[in-house]
Structure 1
Amino acid sequence: MSNVTTAVLELSSGSLTLSRPGTSDASLRAWSAADELLLKEAFAHLDAVPDAQVLVVDDQYGALTLGLSAWCPDVVADSAQLRAALTLNAELNPGSSAPGHVYSWGQPPPGQYDLILLRIPREADYLAWLLRWINGALTPGGVLLAAGMIKHLPDRSVDVFNAAVDVRNVSRAVKKARLITCGRGDETLDHWSGVWKGYELDGSGIRVIAMPAVFAREKLDQGTRLMLPHLQTALQACSPDARVLDLACGNGVLGLSALMAKPELEITFSDVSSQAVLSARHNTAAAFPSARALFVHADGVASDLEPFDLILLNPPFHEGGVVGDHIALRLFEQASRSLSARGRMLMVGNRHLGYHKSLRRFFPHIRQLDANPRFVVFEAWRH
C-alpha cells in the first residue's frame, strides 16, 4: 500500500481515504464534486427513510458505495474496474466495507430499490438505456438521484431525462457539478429501439451490433479500419488453432475478423465494459456459433488465462474525462506478460500519444506497419 496515492473525502458522516487505481498521478482524485452532491442528498434522504433499499449505479472508484456502506447498498457497474477499486479503498477505510458482490449488466441486480444513485455517463444513448432500466428497478415511490460534472454531461441530457423519467428537480451548479432528482417514469427497455445499433462489416455479410455503452457501435472506427488489413498478415504466421485475444474488444470486430480468416482459432474476447462483452458474445454467436470463444469481463488481461499467440488491441485513450496513455500503458504491460514465446501483439493507437516510445518499455521489438495523420499501427513482440 506504500505506493498508493490517496486523498481524503470529507463527508457529514465522517471521512473516506480514497485512491484511484491504475495511476500514481496525485492530481487524479478518486471522486468528483458530483459524488459529493450525490452523497449529501442521499444522506438527507436516508435520514428520513433509514430502512430504504439502496442501489448504486456506475460508481467509479468506490466513493458512493463506501460512503453509503452503513446502508449496505447493492452495486451495479458496467466497468470491471470498480471491483478492484472497492477492494483497495475498503482496505484504506476499516470502518467501511465493500459489498460481497458487484453486479454488472451481464448479471444485473434482480431486486427493486427505494433509492438509486447514478453517476451520469458521458454517452446520451447509454444514459437513455440506464434511465429505462432504472424505471424497472425503482419502487413506485422510489427516488433516483443522478449527478455529473457539467462539462461531461452528454448532449441533450435534459431531453434524455425528460423522455424517460419524472424529473422533479434540477439543482444549481455546485463546484461545476449538477444533481437531478427524479421519480419513476413509464419508459422501459421493452421494445426500445436504442438497445442495439450496428453496421455491416465491409463486404463480409456480417452485421456487428452493440449495446449503448460500447465504443463506436454505429460505424467502424477509423483506427480499426486502418488495422484490419494487417490482421490478415499477422494471422498467416499463426497455426489454424492459435490462441488469440481481442483485448478491449468492444463489439468484437477484430476478433470476428480473425475468425473470418481462421474459424478454428481459439479466441478470447475481453473488455472492461460488461456491455461490450455482451455485444461481442451476441455477435460471435450470430456469425460463428461453433467458434471456440471465451468472453471475459475484466480490467485488462485476466491473470488466469493461458498465453496467447496473437493479441489484438485498439486501446481506450480516455477514462472518466481524463485523456492520456495511462490505460494503454497498463494494457501493454499485461499484454507483454501474456504472450507465448513467439507471440505478437498487433495494435493501433492515436498518433499524438506517441506509442512508438511507450511500447519500448515493455517490448524489445516493435515495428510500425502503417500510419495516417490520426492513427498508427504497430506490431510488437518479445523474442
Structure 2
Amino acid sequence: MTDRDALFSSLRRWPDVEDPTLQAHDASDALILDEAVEPGRMPADVVVIGDRHGALTLGALHDGAGHVRVHQDSIVAERALAANAGALGESRFTHHPLDASLVEGARLVLLQLPRSLDELDEIAELVATHADEGVLLVAGGRVKHMSMSMNALLGRSFRSVHATLGRRKSRVLRAEGPRRPGISWPRNRQHDVAGMPLTVVAHGGAFAGTSIDIGAQTLLAHLDAMPDARVGPDAIGPGGFDAVDLASGTGVLGVALALARPGVRVLATDASAAAVASTIATAEANGVADRVIARQADGLDDVPDASAPLILLNPPFHIGAVVHTGIAERLIADAGRALAPGGELWCVWNSHLGYRPLLDRIGATRQVSRNAKFVVTATRRR
C-alpha cells in the first residue's frame, strides 16, 4: 500500500451518509492525481472542483501541492473535507464559490466529473474563461457514468480534449487550450404552475435544471389543499417564516407557494450551492425575493425544534450515482424535529420506496394521492 493509498483509506464520509456500501474515495480520485502531472511535479497552486469528501484535495497536497483552491457544491462535502483535513492536521486549502476567484490564473484544475452535462458545461466555461492560457483541466470519473457527450461538451470550451486509457473502471479526460467562451449560466425557462406563470432559473448543478421534475409537479398539483402556513399567532416559524422548502433545488415549491399566497414568507434550504443560487435567482425572477429566502444548509441547520408550521419536501433518492435512501431518511427525520405541533410535512416520494414508516414516526400521516410513480403524503405533527 502506498502512502497515498493509506491516506485514502483513512478518509471518512462523515457527516455525509455512512454505510458499508459507500466509500469516501474511489479509483477515479487516484487516476486524476496520477494523470495530472509527472510524479513529484505537482504545482504549488492547484484548483480542485467536485471533491466529494477530501480525497482529491488532500491527495494533491500529499503529492506536493503547496495550496489548493477548492469548490465543493455540497455543504456536507465541505464539512467532510474539513473533518478529514482536521484529523490529518492539514489546513493548506481554501473554499471558494464557483466563480472567477476559484480559477483565476490557475494552470492545473482537477475535476471529479459531475453526472450532469449542464454542470460540466458551467464548470468548463468558468475554467476556460478565467484560468491561465496554459491551463490543464484533468477531469475523471467512473467509466460507466461517462459518455462521448462529455468530450464534445468540453470541446466547446477547449481546443484540445482527449481521453486517457482506462484503469480500474475509471478514465480521465484532459482538456487544454481555453477558447475563452464567456459565461452563459444561469439559464431560465417559463412554466405554468397551477394556473400561474413561473420562471425557473437554474445553474448547471441544480437538479432538473430549468425543468420542473415530475415529483415537484405532482406535489404542486395539491398546492391549494395545503393548509394555511400560519397555524397560530405565536407559531410563525423559524425567523419569522411561515413555511420551509426543504431540499429546495431551484426553489420551485417555495416560489410557487409564495406566488399563490401573498404575504407568506418561505425559508428555502439546500445542501447544494448551485441549488441555493438557483433558488435565489428563481425568487428574483418571479418578484418574491423579499419573501423567499434561501440558505445553504445540511437539512434544517439552525431551524429550531418544533418551530415550522409547514414544510414541503421533494427528497432526493440518490447519493451521487448510487440509488440510496439515506439522504431522504435524514431529511424526513429533520423535518419531524423542526415541525411545530399541529404543523404539517407535505412530501412527494417514489411509490416503490418505503418512506411511510418514517413519516408515521413524526405524526399522523395521510395519503393525499398515489399514481404509478409517486405518492404524496401529508404528516401532521402531534
Tell me the TM-score normalised to structure 2 length.
Answer: 0.88
Q: Which residue is 1:93 aligned to?
A: 88
Question: What CA deviation, in whole Å up to 9, does each residue of 1:305-333 have, x standing for no partner?
Answer: 57211111000111211112111001011
Match of 2:121 in 1: 128
1:234-254 CA-partner distances (Å, limit 9, x unpaired): 233635966211111111111
Offset, 1:180: 1.6
Cross-structure match for 1:65 = 57
Q: What is the identity, as a one-letter code, of the residue corresponding to 1:216?
A: A
Q: Does the aligned pair in 2 maintain the 1:211–1:276 contact within 8 Å?
A: yes
CA distance 1:290–1:247, change in 2 (3 Å):
closer
Give yes or no for contact 2:229–2:310 (8 Å, CA) kept in 1.
Answer: no
What code does the residue aligned with 2:302 have? S
Counterpart position of 2:106: 113
CA shift, 1:178, in A, is: 0.5
Matching residue within 220, 226, 236 for 2:218: 226
Q: d(CA) in 1 for partners of 2:34 and 2:150? A: 22
> Counterparts of 2:91 and 2:112 in 1: how far apart (Å)?
20
SS at 1:73 equivalent: strand
- Pair 1:76-2:68 in alignment: no
Shift in alpha-carbon separation, 1:260–1:66, aligned structure 2, 3 A? same
- Once the two structures are TM-superposed, the CA of residue 88 in structure 1 deviates from its matched residue by 2.2
1:3 is matched with which residue?
A: none
Question: Quick check: 1:61–1:86 contact (8 Å CA) kept in 2?
Answer: yes
More divergent stretch after superposition (231-240 vs 248-257): 231-240
- In 1: Cα distance, 2:109 partner to 2:301 partner: 31
Q: Give the counterpart letter for 2:66 in structure 1.
A: W
Q: Note the aligned Cα RMSD (angstroms).
A: 2.4
Partner in structure 2 of residue 326 of structure 1: 326
Q: Does 1:297 align with 2:290?
A: no
Measure, in 1, the Cα distance between the counterparts of 2:221 and 2:161.
52
Q: Counterpart amino acid of 1:315? A: P
Q: How far apart, CA to CA, are the structure 2 residues paired with 1:153 and 1:73? A: 26
Structure 1 segment 301-380 matched on structure 2, within 5 A: 301-304=300-303, 307-360=307-360, 362-380=361-379
Structure 1 equivalent of residue 28 of structure 2: 34
Equivalent residue letter for 1:219: S
Contact 2:138 2:173 in 1 (8 A): yes
Contact between 1:263 and 1:291, CA under 8 Å: does it hold in 2?
Answer: no
SS at match of 1:236: coil
Give the Cα–Cα distance (whole angstroms) in 2 for the partners of residues 369 and 132 of structure 1: 43
The yes-or-no answer on 1:200 pairing with 2:170 is: no
* d(CA) in 2 for partners of 1:161, 1:214: 19
Aligned residues: 368
Matches of 2:147 and 2:177, distance apart in 1? 21
Which consecutive residues of structure 1, in runs of 5 or more, have no partner in the other structure? 1-8
Q: Structure 1 residues 235 and 110, CA, compared in 2 at 3 Å: closer, same or farther?
A: farther
Return closer, same or farther for 1:92/1:48 CA change in 2, 3 Å cut-off. closer
Cα gap change, 1:92 to 1:381, in 2 (>3 Å):
farther
Tell me the distance in 1 between the aligned counterparts of 2:249 and 2:84: 28
Percent of matched pairs sharing the same residue: 30
Distance 1:187 1:315 in 2: 37
Could you say which residue in structure 2 is the equivalent of 1:287?
286
Distance apart, 1:231 and its partner CA: 2.8
For 2:224 and 2:83, the matched residues in 1 are separated by 41
The alignment partner of 1:31 has SS state of coil
Quick check: 1:250 aligned with 2:249?
A: yes
Q: Is contact 2:104–2:132 with CA below 8 Å preserved after alignment?
A: no
Q: How far is 1:287 from its partner?
A: 1.6
Q: Which runs of 4+ in 1 moved over 6 A?
A: none
Bigger shift: 148-157 or 316-325?
148-157
| Alpha carbons of structure 1 residues 114 and 225: separation in structure 2 relative to 1, 3 Å | same
Deviation readout 1:238-280 (Å, 9 max, x if unpaired) = 3596621111111111111111222211211111221211111
Identify if the C-alpha distance between structure 1 residues 287 and 301 changes in structure 2 by more than 3 Å, giving closer, same or farther.
Answer: same
Residue identity in the other structure for 1:217: G
CA positional deviation for 1:290: 6.0
1:76–1:108: 8 Å Cα contact kept in structure 2?
A: no
Name the SS for the 2:249 alignment partner.
coil
Secondary structure of the 2:133 match is strand
Give the deviation of 1:211 after TM superposition. 1.7
Instruction: Encode CA deviations 1:156-191: one digit per residue, 9 max, x unaligned.
Output: 11211222213354111101110122213214234x
Q: Tell me whether 305-314 or 25-34 shows the greater mean CA deviation.
A: 305-314
Q: Indicate the larger mover: 314-323 or 145-154.
A: 145-154
Separation in 1, partners of 2:353, 2:147: 25
**Take 1:34 and 1:78, find their aligned partners in 2: how far apart are those partners?**
18
Tell me whether 1:217 sits opposite 2:212 in the alignment. no
Instruction: Check conservation: 1:121, 1:153, Cα contact below 8 A.
Output: no
Aligned to 1:277, the other structure's residue is in SS state helix
Distance in 2 between the 1:290 and 1:172 partners?
A: 48
Q: In structure 2, do the counterparts of structure 1 residues 173 and 139 end up closer, same or farther at CA, with 3 Å as the change threshold? A: same
